[in-house]
Amino acid sequence: MFLHHPSNIDSQREAGVRRRVAVLVTIVFLAAVPSSALEIGENLFIHGFGGWAFAQTDENLYLIGDENGVWDNVQLSLNFTADIAPRARVVAQVAMTQEDELETDLDYAFGEWKFSDRARLRLGRVKHPFGIYAEIFDVGTLRPFYMLPQSIYGPQGITAKSVDGIGFLGILDSPTWSVSYDLYAGEIQGTLQVPGPFAADPDDRFQSEVVSDFEVEDVFGLRLEVSPPLAGLRFGLSAYTGEQTVVDVQQATTKQSYDVVGVHIGYEDEKWLARAEASRFDLGDDAFGADGAYAELAYHVTENWQLAVRWDWWQGDNSGLDLTQLPPFVNQLLENEDLGFAINYWFTPRFVVKLNYHVIKGNRFAFPDDPDEILRAFFTQQLEDETEMIVFGVQFSF
Amino acid sequence: MTSMFRWCLATVLLIALSVFSGVGQDAHGQREPAFRVIVHPSSTVESLPKKEVSRMFLKRRTQWPDGGQVTPVDLPESSDIRRQFSRTVHGRGVDIIANYWVREIFSGKRVPPKQLKNAAQVVEFVRDNEGAIGYVNPGAVTDEVKVLEVIE
């Protein structure tokens, strides 16, 4: 245990004040964002989206919240589209996020050639077309909850923001039905967050969580989405296959197959929004596997007020794991069930304030913040497996 | 019994509403469209199904039957004419279409049509651009543009 020196306390207080001022400035900025795109000349369009949230849990650390409350969940993305010829355009999106440190990422950047409405070719860092939300990962004005459902879109290796490679997409229309398709190939890179006891490096196994990048090579994937004549209804299938380089305990590297498949369905009208997805992930023949699913329902009580509920479930298999190398509470680490409730106030369709409450069971994403508690769990044989979290935030797009 | 009475009353009210909602229709029971879809006067297209017009304004159909580029123009989201156009042609409200565009923009697929301030600007734009298509209130239509028949 370390004692804080008074000057350290002062500097921490100053940092805290600075952080709160930054948050307030951000909120003012968010409230003042333009309601439509910035258009430069005839052919360059700048759009953006972002948000800020305060999140607090009752005990465990859970994604954007902890026991003390996290104020600095701030994110802003800018999207640039340039029509450089009647059939050619360039699209790029830059994301800035802050969770302690300010980070900047290139979400995607690609060139596109349109052969016709039925066929377009993309090259570069293209969007990862998977399910309902992968292409619009952080766009909070397109969903009722501040956070995405973690079963499909959490940092667990199913979806990524982009694919480095090639994409081929288009729309096939009949007079009443419409089918959109996406084919892609290349390499996927994403974020993987694992509980400390699962960390590859033995030194990390008493950490609460370990965040790293994951990479899937030689990826081939597709998404098909069907829109039947009933306006607002759509359903589809997403799947990809690739290979991942895995390092075992003897530091030997092997390539293992990486297969993901998912289905989705959604309906939206002025009052109701209903969405559901399910997915299956397999690494190698039997190295690891997981199932995930969620269903969300939202209803606009008035034009501005919206109520929503979501059930979000993820379950990992332990059949391929060496249980002798893992702690006795391993099954808790392979489970996440999140029941969420939301009350949202939509000032406009592009500016919303959200109040969300989550009850989480399992420890796949909810860990003790203090490594000592993990150490203690090795003796008590269990972690605190229920976490409650409240999120208050604002999200916008323009 | 009281509950049944309420259901009956609600049914009567619904029927009454549907009857009185006929006010404003012409002698043939057809409601006068609140807008006209207009194209460049040189266009050879006389009529289009509603679904095709919708796809053009959603930029899911970007070519005319003769191969020319479709250039749709919109009125502001707050415009009554746009609200009626959206409801009639897309079958969805303006807010749902706004969500569609947010999705399309950030998935990198397409950006919304150019938005002009009023009907006069739409007429001017359509007059000056060969592949253009717009919609305005009937009173704003001039001889400089061609009215496209929208069929069910």
Ramachandran assignment for A78, one of left (phi > 0), alpha (psi -120 to 50 degrees), beta (any other): beta
The model's pLDDT over A89-140, given as tens digits with 9 standing for 90+, comes to 999 999 998 766 788 999 999 999 999 999 999 999 999 999 999 999 999 9
Outline where A41-186 has alpha helix (H): 150-153
Position B9 in a domain? no
pLDDT in tens, A12-30: 555 555 555 555 555 545 5
Per residue in A29-65, pLDDT tens?
A: 555 544 566 777 788 999 999 999 999 999 899 999 9
- For residue A161, the enclosing domain spans 8-397
Task: State whether A142 and B103 contact (CB < 8 Å).
Answer: yes
Answer yes or no: is B67 within a domain.
yes
In this predicted structure, what is the pLDDT of residue A206?
72
Burial of A58 (0-12, 13-18, 19+ CB in 10 A): middle
Please state whether beta strands A288-300 and A305-316 pair in parallel, antiparallel, or not at all (unpaired): antiparallel
Band (A283; pLDDT cuts 50, 70, 90): very high
User: Residue B59 sits in a domain of what CATH number?
Assistant: 3.40.190.10
pLDDT digits 0-9 by tens, A149-168: 999 999 988 998 899 999 99
Domain housing B56 = 29-151
Whether residue A37 and residue B111 make contact (CB cut-off 8 A), yes or no, is yes
| Residue A321 CB-density burial (10 A; 0-12 exposed, 13-18 middle, 19+ buried) | middle
Q: How many domains does chain A have?
A: 1
Q: Residue B4: inside a domain, yes or no?
A: no
Give the mutation candidate from A141, A168, A344 for the B interface (greatest B CB count, under 10 A).
Answer: A141
B contact set with A (CB within 8 A): 49, 51, 55, 60-63, 69, 90-93, 95-96, 98-99, 102-103, 105-109, 111-112, 115
Say which CATH number the domain at A191 has: 2.40.160.10
In a domain, residue A147? The reply is yes
**Interface predicted TM-score (ipTM) of this complex, two decimals:** 0.84
- Taking the CA of residue B92 and the nearest CA in chain A, the distance in Å comes to 8
pLDDT given at position A144: 98
Instruction: For residue A116, tell me if it sits in a domain.
Output: yes
* Chain B residues with beta carbon closer than 8 angstroms to that of A116: 63
Cα separations (Å) of B114 from A41, A45, A174, B71?
12, 11, 27, 9
Residues A191-238 have pLDDT tens digits of: 888 887 777 677 777 777 788 888 999 999 999 999 999 889 999 999
Which residues lie below 8 Å from residue A353, measured CB to CB, with a gap of 6+?
A: A344, A345, A347, A392, A393, A394
On whether the CB atoms of residues A139 and B102 are closer than 8 A, the answer is yes
Q: Write down the pLDDT at residue A305.
A: 98
Number of domains, chain B: 1
Distance CA(A120)–CA(A115), nearest Å, equals 6
B135 within a domain of the structure (yes/no): yes
CA distance A155 to A138: 13
User: For A142, which of B61, B63, B102 is closest by C-beta distance?
Assistant: B102
Q: What is the pLDDT of residue A86?
A: 87
Residue A194 lies in a domain: yes
Query: Chain A contacts of B102, Cβ < 8 Å?
Result: 49, 136, 139, 141-142, 349-350, 397
Residues of A in contact with B128 (CB under 8 A): none
**Domain-located, residue A3:** no
Sign of the dihedral through C-alpha A197, A200, A204, A207 = negative
What would the pLDDT profile of A287-309 be if each residue is shown by its tens digit?
889 999 999 999 999 999 999 99
Q: Is residue A2 part of a domain?
A: no
Per-residue pLDDT at A15 = 54
